[in-house]
Amino acid sequence: MLWLLAWFLVWLAFYWPWATGALTIPWDGKAQFAPQVQFLAKSFARGELPLWTPNVFAGHPQIADPQSMLFSPPFVLLALTDPAPGPWVIDSVVFAMRFLAGIFIALFTRDLGWRGATGLIAAIVFAFGAAMAWRLQHFGQVLSLAYMAPTIFLLNRALSNRSVAARIGYGALAGLVAAFIVLGRDQVGLLCLYVLAAFAATRVLPGPLGTLPARILHAVPQVLAGSLTALAIVVQPIALTLALAGQSNRPEITFEGAGAGSLHPALLLTAIVPHLYGAAGEMANYWGPPSFAWEGTGLYLAQNMGLVYIGAVPLLLILIALLSGDVWRREIAFFTLAWIAILVYALGWYTPLFRWAYDFLPGISFYRRPADAVFLLGGLAALVAAYAAHRLIDAARRDAGPLRARLALAAAAVLTLLVLATALAAAFGRLPQALPAIAAAAFWFALAITAILVAIHIAPIRPVAAAACLIGPTAADVIWNNGPNGASALPLASLSMLEPDGPEPTIRRLEELLRSTRTETRRDRIEMVGLGYHWPNTPLTHGLDSTLGANPVRLDLYVRATGAGDTVALGEQRKFTPLFPSYRSPLANLLGLRFIATGDPIEVIDKSLAGNPLPIRARTPSAIIYENPDALPRALFATRALPADFDELLRSGKWPATDFETTVLLEEPVKASPPRRPGKIAITDYRNAVVTLSVISPDGGWAVLNDVWHPWWQAEINGRKAPLLKANVLFRAVAVPPGHHTVTFRFKPLEGLFDLTSGNARASPVPPS
């Protein structure tokens, strides 16, 4: 078990800057995923299911959202055990999953019969190479690749074990972990599933044709156990996600939209010089494709998306194995071919094969950015490098001469690429910036060449020490070059808005203002605009109700009505629509949008307010907080209904002249009726998936709840199902008869999905007498 201790020490050395609490994983890790985990924790602590959130986009179906972390076992476990997880513990879960991935990938190499110590190279590269380091902030994708390690380990045991019971057991466990990959619902997970399916096929199908039926029959129990286990777990969540995709702003990604996320071939130079383009620094200094310096690519990629560095020793080992032909040996050929296929996919529109994959491979058209495949480039390279180390140590015990010659050729190839990188930097006028990175790369490759030469020399008598000569520099290399940088680490203190109980002034002031306006009908909303990248989802962290948020997947109706974008980190990202042309508008009032926290004066964001801005209620170091005094209550009782063409309203933005406190607009035809006397309404219970109203009226009317309408919500009057109506374009209403009634809205996604697919009709909106 010495290898396990060594792996723990390497992992701890990499994790240490974050473990001390000085640094935290920034960007999407905190802007997108950490608030989702914190919402889970708050919900569980209150005894609620986090199926729907009222905290962003005026209501959002968490159960169907791939970003929600609701089906991520590590984060669900954290949320169940910690009612208020902060950034540090959330980061620690991500690092713990990388540690476990390293263990399983090392165990897998041992099962394949490779030298045990070389499994540490696989662990290091798998957990800390390429995108697993540079795209650390994409928690979902990190976990998808992390799950691949135990899945392939269990799958291999399921396919190679002789005992039927063991095969079924390992198969079921492989299916269980594969289900976690599926539930991540991201592109990395999809590619992992393709690789795993191909791996299983190569373990069963090759061989004499006459024994093929027997081989297939041998694989049936474990494949069936795994498939049934996985399907039982994933069917309902995937069905809900597919339904949400159809209701969302992005039901599919066009080929051009996907291709804009292709890996530019020039980014492959980062395999030699990780810091060549300055990806770890400020955007203004980054000069790789695409950037202000490298224009005209048609690409839309973050600057840290194309980093493929796995370490100098692993790369040289792969080159030596390529020169010897070892990469095509039966034990490793599948992973070599899989790596090539993933590279072709990552290059996207730079090869004609991506068009074929987009058109014919299931699931590909749901995703943008084929460059996400860089995660698997690192993961598969980890296995090829470990096998190359295994072969090098074995070959050195027989004849070291050819190994030294191949190392010399590999070094010459690296030198050629270093010269190419230098010429490219000179061509872009970035040589002064790039030279330190190129010199550092030369140092690490010189160290790697020395380490490999020593390993070749001592392998015949000290094979374990030879492996240590390869492992030590590999660990030091990735810890230094793939360690904390601007893409993966920022000071924890700079993200105080994501501390659940922290003292951040803007959050605390908004909470005070919202408490002061809360009544039995009011539950006012806020909007945060232009405060920075990490702010838009903080309402999930603190339980505030917001009209916006940060999410690439949003309900299409809500986007069309309000202009809600992926994020509002910058004031200019707040887009207005015909139906929501200003913060002074009927829709802003219907949303109950009471307070707007902005980084710039509000008239800069909403130019219609120039000369007559909303009143300022507070100023904090990070925001100006404005008040919309015309914001309407969350719950209203309407005594009159008017028919309206909601599509026309969305197009024109021309609301009929009416008093929304007494009148509701409905899509359905409305029968004329005599005037009704006013009623009274109150919110008696408000939870994620259940909202209860008390309604008293002498003549009946409509209970209106200004929460986003969605077909998976259902309504009840006194415990009996009632038609749920779409009101005022976006919201919910229920027709109620005279008297005192309890109106309950329940979020029932499975029943709602069934009703939607079966075409169940809704009843008339006329209140019963």
Indicate whether 246 and 376 sit together in one domain.
yes
Q: Average pLDDT for residues 404-419, to the nearest whole number?
A: 97
pLDDT category, 674, cuts 50, 70, 90? confident
Indicate whether 184 and 274 sit together in one domain.
yes
Indicate whether 530 and 422 sit together in one domain.
no
What pLDDT is attached to residue 158? 96
Measure the CA–CA gap between 449 and 454, rounded to whole angstroms: 9
90-126 tens-digit pLDDT? 999 999 999 999 999 999 999 999 987 899 999 999 9
Q: Average pLDDT for residues 572-581, to the nearest whole number?
A: 97
Residue 217 resides in a domain: yes
Q: What is the pTM of this model?
A: 0.94
Chain center to CA of 631: 34
Indicate whether 616 and 641 sit together in one domain.
no
Tell whether the model's pLDDT for residue 765 goes beyond 80: no
Tell whether the model's pLDDT for residue 764 goes beyond 50: no
163-194 tens-digit pLDDT? 999 999 999 999 999 999 999 999 999 999 99
Tell me which of 621 and 399 has the higher pLDDT: 621
Indicate whether 394 and 426 sit together in one domain.
yes
Name which of 340-349, 485-494, 741-750 the model is least confident about: 485-494
Range ranked top by mean pLDDT from 353-367, 681-695, 746-760: 681-695
Residue 69 resides in a domain: no
Domain count, the chain: 3
| One-letter amino acid for residue 324 of the chain | S
Residue 423 resides in a domain: yes
pLDDT category, 253, cuts 50, 70, 90? confident
Indicate whether 591 and 672 sit together in one domain.
no
| One-letter amino acid for residue 65 of the chain | D
Name which of 60-64, 247-251, 549-553, 643-647 the model is least confident about: 247-251
Indicate whether 604 and 621 sit together in one domain.
yes
Residue 438 resides in a domain: yes
Q: At what angle do helices 463-481 and 119-128 cross, to 10 degrees?
A: 10
pLDDT category, 760, cuts 50, 70, 90? low
Print burial letters for 399-438: b (CB count within 10 Å at least 16), e (below 16).
Answer: ebeebeebbeebbebbeebbeebbebbeebebeebbeebb
Tell whether the model's pLDDT for residue 575 goes beyond 80: yes
Residue 244 resides in a domain: yes
Indicate whether 507 and 442 sit together in one domain.
no
* Full residue range of the structural domain in which residue 646 is found: 635-758
Tell which of 587, 610, 627 closes a domain.
Answer: 627
Measure the CA–CA gap between 571 and 604, rounded to whole angstroms: 8
For 493, residues 6+ apart whose C-beta sits below 8 A from its C-beta are: none
pLDDT category, 156, cuts 50, 70, 90? very high
- Residue 657 main-chain phi, psi, to 5 deg: -70, 110
CB 680 within 8 A of CB 738: no
As a whole number, the mean pLDDT across the chain is: 95
587-638 tens-digit pLDDT? 999 999 999 999 999 999 999 999 899 999 999 999 999 999 999 999 999 9
What pLDDT is attached to residue 117? 84
What pLDDT is attached to residue 762? 45
Indicate whether 651 and 687 sit together in one domain.
yes
Residue 190 resides in a domain: yes
Tell which of 598, 627, 656 closes a domain.
Answer: 627
Indicate whether 618 and 640 sit together in one domain.
no
Q: Average pLDDT for residues 135-154, to the nearest whole number?
A: 97
What pLDDT is attached to residue 756? 66
CB 242 within 8 A of CB 356: no
Indicate whether 621 and 703 sit together in one domain.
no
What pLDDT is attached to residue 757? 66
Strand blocks (E) in 520-592: 525-529
What pLDDT is attached to residue 166? 95
Residue 694 resides in a domain: yes
Tell whether the model's pLDDT for residue 572 goes beyond 90: yes
CB 700 within 8 A of CB 639: no
Measure the CA–CA gap between 457 and 451, rounded to whole angstroms: 10
Find where tokens 């991520």 sit: 72
Indicate whether 450 and 549 sit together in one domain.
no
Residue 34 resides in a domain: no
Tell whether the model's pLDDT for residue 573 goes beyond 90: yes
Measure the CA–CA gap between 548 and 61, rounded to whole angstroms: 14
Nearest to 733 by CA among 663, 676, 632, 674: 663
